[in-house]
């Protein structure tokens, strides 16, 4: 087993079937997990201690895609207003969009911000549109696919205050164009999605207090001041008055343990 993770919640449910789980996990010759806490939980399940070892998250070894200058230019020509401060909210969950729309109302007093919402699940697009229309005008937002459609039809679209990205696979494009990045599943009790993508692009992620799914990565980033943990809307507003890009090259090099993991597997 490689890159294993086990939350406290999952541990409790697995313990109900402890005798089956113990027999199953000990069929593994080696169990490589992401943190000391994960190691302790696996051992509570009955994993043999000599089998369980801790290595850094495999995502530290990923080389994420970088968009070209031509792609950037295309986004700037059609979607991103480079004269504004760009906030990208990635992998958002229910209730998080409402929080960020309220934040936008508070902070955007001089029309200097643009909000890009990239929901975790596209089936929630209509729900998000309804929330926007409770707080903003219809002409204040656009779906990203609508912008693409206008471009194909040679129709001009003025920059919108809010963009909903209703297309899969392009979140990292927007991370690269952002001034501020929020990673979802952290202002509500989901547990958080990976903050490594924005960090890879030198963006300091903003997260809420619910980051139990990514606690080891947050711990690593927090030691270097590479993550901003917020408790409420006022703290978000205050942080958005600043601007911080970070140099994370050494951070990724230091935590990339892919060669150690491969050695563990092969020898």
pLDDT in tens, 222-263: 999 999 999 999 999 999 988 777 889 889 999 999 999 999
Residue-averaged pLDDT of the chain: 94
Task: Judge whether residue 47 has pLDDT over 90.
Answer: yes
The average pLDDT across 158-170 equals: 96
| Domains of the chain with CATH codes | 8-54 (no CATH), 69-250 (3.40.50.2000)
- At 251 the pLDDT is 92
Q: How does pLDDT run across 51-76, given as a tens digit for each residue?
A: 999 999 999 998 899 999 999 999 99
The per-residue pLDDT for 107 is 95
Q: Report angle CA 24, 25, 29 to the nearest 5 degrees.
A: 115
Q: What is the pLDDT of residue 243?
A: 74
Which pLDDT score, from 0 to 100, does residue 244 have? 75
Per-residue pLDDT, averaged over 80-93, amounts to 96
Q: Which pLDDT does position 154 carry in this prediction?
A: 84
Q: Which of 42-56, 86-100, 238-252 has the lowest mean pLDDT?
A: 238-252
- SS3 track for the chain: CCCECCCHHHHHHHHCCHHHHHHHHCCCCCEEECCHHHHHHHHHCCCCHHHEEECCCHHHHCCCCCCCHHHHHHHHHHCCCCCCEEEEEEEECCCHHHHHHHHHHHHCCCCCEEEEEEECCHHHHHHHHHHHHHHCCHHHEEEHHHHHHHHHCCCCCCCCCEEECCCCCCHHHHHHHCCEEEECCCCCCCCCCCCHHHHHCCECEEECCCCHHHHHHHHHHHHCCCCEECCCHHHHHHHCCCCCECCCHHHHHHHCCHHHHHHHHHC
pLDDT at residue 186 in the model:
98
> Would you tell me how many other CB atoms lie within 10 Å of the CB of residue 75?
18
Which pTM does this prediction carry?
0.87
Give the C-alpha separation, 237 to 241, whole Å: 7
Q: Give which of 125, 170, 121 is closest to 148, Cα–Cα.
A: 170
């Amino acid at each position: 087993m490689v890159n294993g993770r086990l939350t406290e919640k999952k541990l409790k449910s697995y313990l109900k079937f402890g005798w089956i789980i113990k027999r199953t996990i000990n069929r593994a010759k080696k169990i490589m997990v992401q943190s000391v806490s994960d190691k302790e939980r696996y051992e509570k399940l009955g994993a043999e201690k000599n089998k369980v070892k801790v290595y850094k998250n495999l995502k530290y070894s990923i080389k994420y895609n970088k968009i070209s200058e031509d792609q950037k230019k295309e986004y700037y020509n059609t979607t991103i207003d480079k004269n504004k401060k760009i906030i990208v909210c990635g992998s958002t969950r229910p209730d998080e969009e409402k929080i960020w729309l309220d934040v936008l109302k508070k902070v955007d007093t001089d029309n200097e911000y643009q909000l890009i919402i990239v929901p975790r699940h596209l089936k929630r697009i209509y729900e998000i549109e309804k929330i926007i229309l409770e707080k903003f005008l219809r002409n204040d937002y656009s779906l990203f696919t609508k912008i693409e459609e206008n471009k194909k039809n040679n129709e001009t679209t003025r920059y919108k205050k809010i963009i909903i990205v209703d297309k899969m696979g392009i979140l990292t494009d927007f991370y690269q164009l952002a001034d501020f990045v929020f990673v979802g599943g952290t202002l509500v009790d989901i547990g958080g999605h990976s903050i490594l993508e924005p960090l890879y692009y030198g963006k300091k992620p903003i997260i809420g207090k619910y980051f139990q799914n990514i606690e080891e990565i947050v711990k690593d980033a927090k030691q270097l001041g590479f993550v901003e943990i917020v408790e409420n809307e006022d703290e978000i507003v205050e942080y958005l008055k600043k601007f911080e890009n970070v140099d994370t090259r050494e951070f990724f090099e230091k935590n990339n343990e892919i060669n150690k993991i491969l050695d563990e597997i092969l020898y």
